[in-house]
Amino acid sequence: MKRISWNHYFMAQSHLLKSRSTCERLAVGAVIVRDKRMIAGGYNGSVSGGIHCIDEGCYVVDGHCVRTIHAEMNAIIQCAKFGVATEGAEIYVTHFPCLHCTKAIIQAGIKAVYYSEDYRNDPYAVAMLDEAGVRKVKVEHQPSDQEKLNETESFVEELLQKLEKNNTAPDEIDELKAQAEQLFHNNQQPIK
């Protein structure tokens, strides 16, 4: 058996973290690593104890959800909260950091940004990273079988919900739900 590389291992962790996201627009995960050890993780969501976008929808102002704290910021703040140094660390993020997160990454002394997906890569953010000497490395994410299964299950749930909204006969929906539950028998939660 061949072991996965460190980059793919830490990128997989960031993808696992994004599964905790409460943002409906884009789920993002981040993990900060120093000396091949994870020192903090974060995902995008609301402030602790606050209303979540999945509960009441996004609070969008000028095209941005102002309720959400980005994954990178949550990871950096976690380090600050618990007194963990970020100087010389690396960050693995599911998506290329936004301009504000880029500034925080540089200020935190993080020396490398690994990301798996381009997402509105801001030219100024790229220039700032270059100027600060922060390496940018794109790492293709290799989803695990469980991630693929979770994505398939989410897709099936979404299809069933659309069928319900389109007034498909309830007995047909019940039959499809039963088939889906049989398909995903390893999952602990029934399809709603």
The residues that are catalytic are: 72
Query: Which amino acid is it at 143?
Result: P
CA angle 191, 55, 32 (to 5 degrees): 90
